[in-house]
Chains A and B, each alone.
Chain A
Amino acid sequence: MRLYDVELRFRLMLGTAQYPSPAVLLDAIKASRSEVVTVSLRREAGGSRAGQAFWSMIRNLGLRVLPNTAGCHTVKEAVTTAHMAREVFGTPWIKLEVIGDHDTLQPDVFGLVEAARILTEDGFEVFPYTTEDLSVCGRLVEAGCRVLMPWGAPIGSGRGLNNPYGLRTLRAHFPETPLIVDAGLGRPSQAAAAMELGYDGVLLNTAVAKAGDPVRMAEAFGQAVEAGRLAHLAGPMEPRDMAAPSTPVMGMALLS
């Protein structure tokens, strides 16, 4: 999978929030085989970069860091946070979130497109967290995004793929753009389903961080993403109404 000229072998990306401890987080990342982790800056920043200890731990993992603008509700906040992220992590990558509704954490797609344009012109490589809306995704691509991250369901809801039809349509309309389902997944089967739709990758956080055993769940998601990808490449059979025996009926033993 190629994201902004970076070649990745594994297709699962993990968020780094809400784990029982940093030690569990590190074990979970290893078990998932993720090569990309997202990290939020907004709240940890404090007055004076007081989140340094956690950030340097993330930096020292030797993985690619995708900083995010989680918790930003306006274009200005998101742009400011992106600049800070670039400074702290030394990467042009930014997972752009502009939240429109406090309860559903639904993206504000108008602000998202505007912020994506501003940041792209400023040299950022933007990963927009968006709805699965076709025209919004079109605008994001026009604004310079070369990756799209539609939601599966609201952040942290664990509901899976709310609109498989919409996600399938999006895949069909953007065959060349890497598409990553971001947010809303609760179970590995849902991640596999996203990959079977032909999605390039999956990003999640809560489903692993809040699992009974986060490390084991991270491994499960890693395997599900691989399985879904293989299934997509293999070409799944179409469902049908009539039973079709898998054993030939010819040559049955006849008693005569």
Chain B
Amino acid sequence: MADVTVIGAGVAGLTCALALAERGASVEVIDRGERLGAEACSWYAGGMLAPWCERESAEPLVAELGEEAIDYWAERVPGVMRKGTLVVAPARDVPDLARFARRTERFGWVDGERIATLEPDLAGRFSKGLFFSEEGHLDPRDALDALSEALARQGISIRFGVEVENEAPSSPTIVDCRGFGARDALPDLRGVKGEMVLVRTKDVTLSRPVRLLHPRHPVYIVPRDDGLFMIGATMIESSERGRVTARAMLELLGAAYAVHPAFAEAEIIEIGADVRPAFPDNLPRISRRGRTFHVNGLFRHGFLLAPALARRVAATVLHGTHYPEVMDEDQLQR
């Protein structure tokens, strides 16, 4: 019997399992999906490792926890890029750049010329932007694969198609990383729906994630291998999984077209939607209920926050360490 059962093979579950295994615990991972990513909202993530950009709408804790993410992923996943993030706005929305700049840190202002140097295909399209040079990005699906392989090297295979309702784990400790699926145990968890589209084109090349500020439909475009681009993501207060609306596609593709008209001719490879798990303060939390440690509320920051949380979970489970910044239930104390 394993010491620890990790429930959920999304980014939170896999990083926690690996952190525990690397520290000597015997671990098993179960997931209700039929294969990797089938039931994980991580599958639809953008994969931006952007702790400083995210400060635009997130609390300082997100940047603090996220700072270690780029090194963590670079050590474990091939193809992690450290090319920064470029934030641009159409001429009429330039005031939004000033707002973004006020709320964030570790960036430099860039003019049209510098934008053209960074991203030659955007030459002449934007006259002002912000460049967050220390940020990175990855392909989340490659990252999940890499984690699963790293677990396999530790002798841990993920058991898929296991519903905890039917088969309660018997191990002495459970790490519950079910995301929104854990709302039965965490009543203040809510879903924030996100929709994305994956397109392919050879007519435009980007080296780094580009964020387009827009008062109604902000969008980011993350380049992946083979001419693929992930365009995301909507943010809707809704727990509805799976359904992608025409409106969302109009907004995302319209915004991508505003970044570069070549996106109009791109091939649509995939559309997808899922639900981000979030607590009322949109901050992650590790909470203990008897033998179960819940790791949840990673919201839109799964790949950014998972490494820091996994490290803490392992120390908590194995040594009883207390981390007030993610463990105090009372929000006012954090």
Contacts and interface: CB of A to CB of B under 8 A. Distances in A.
Interface of A: 20-24, 26, 43-48, 50-54, 57, 156, 210, 212
A46 B238 contact: yes
Contacts of A24: 281
Contacts of B236: 43-44, 46, 51
Interface in B24-76: 57-59
A212 B103 contact: yes
A50 B238 contact: yes
B51 to A, nearest CB: 15
Nearest to A25: B280
B190 interface: yes
B265 interface: no
Contacts of B276: none
Given A50-B238, A50-B239, A53-B237, A20 B280 contact: no
In the complex, which of the residues B59, B103, B280, B331 has the most CB atoms of chain A within 10 Å of its own CB atom? B280
B215 A156 contact: yes
Given A50-B191, A50-B193, A156-B215, A20 B239 contact: no
B280 A47 contact: no
B97 to A, nearest CB: 13
13 contacts: A20-B282, A21-B59, A21-B281, A24-B281, A46-B193, A50-B238, A51-B238, A53-B239, A54-B237, A57-B280, A156-B215, A210-B99, A212-B102
Contacts of A156: 215
Contact of A23 (B193, B238, B247, B331): B331
A47 B190 contact: no
Contacts of B59: 20-21
Interface string B254-285: 00000000000000000000000010111100
Contacts of A51: 236-239
B163 interface: no
Nearest to A19: B57
Nearest to A213: B103
A210 B239 CA distance: 24
Interface residues of B, number: 23
B202 interface: no
B243 interface: yes
Contacts of A54: 190, 237-238
A191 B280 CA distance: 29
A23 B332 CA distance: 10
B329 interface: no
B149 interface: no
Nearest to A53: B190
Contact of B280 (A22, A52, A212): A22
B240 interface: yes
Contacts of B193: 46, 50
Contacts of A26: 280
Given A20-B59, A22-B281, A212-B103, 12 more contacts: A21-B278, A21-B280, A22-B190, A44-B236, A44-B238, A45-B238, A47-B243, A51-B236, A53-B191, A53-B237, A54-B238, A57-B280
A21 B279 CA distance: 9
Contacts of B237: 44, 51, 53-54
Contacts of A44: 236-238
Nearest to A58: B237
A52 B57 CA distance: 23
A5 to B, nearest CB: 31
Nearest to A157: B215
Given A50-B193, A54-B190, A212-B103, A23 B281 contact: yes
A219 to B, nearest CB: 17
A23 B243 contact: no
A210 B95 CA distance: 12
Nearest to A17: B237
A47 B237 CA distance: 13
Interface in B3-37: none
A43 B217 CA distance: 13
A46 B240 contact: yes
Contacts of B58: 20
A187 to B, nearest CB: 14
A41 to B, nearest CB: 11
B103 to A, nearest CB: 6
Contacts of B99: 210
A52 B239 contact: yes
A48 B102 CA distance: 39
A195 B326 CA distance: 43
A20 B57 contact: yes
Interface in B97-119: 99, 102-103
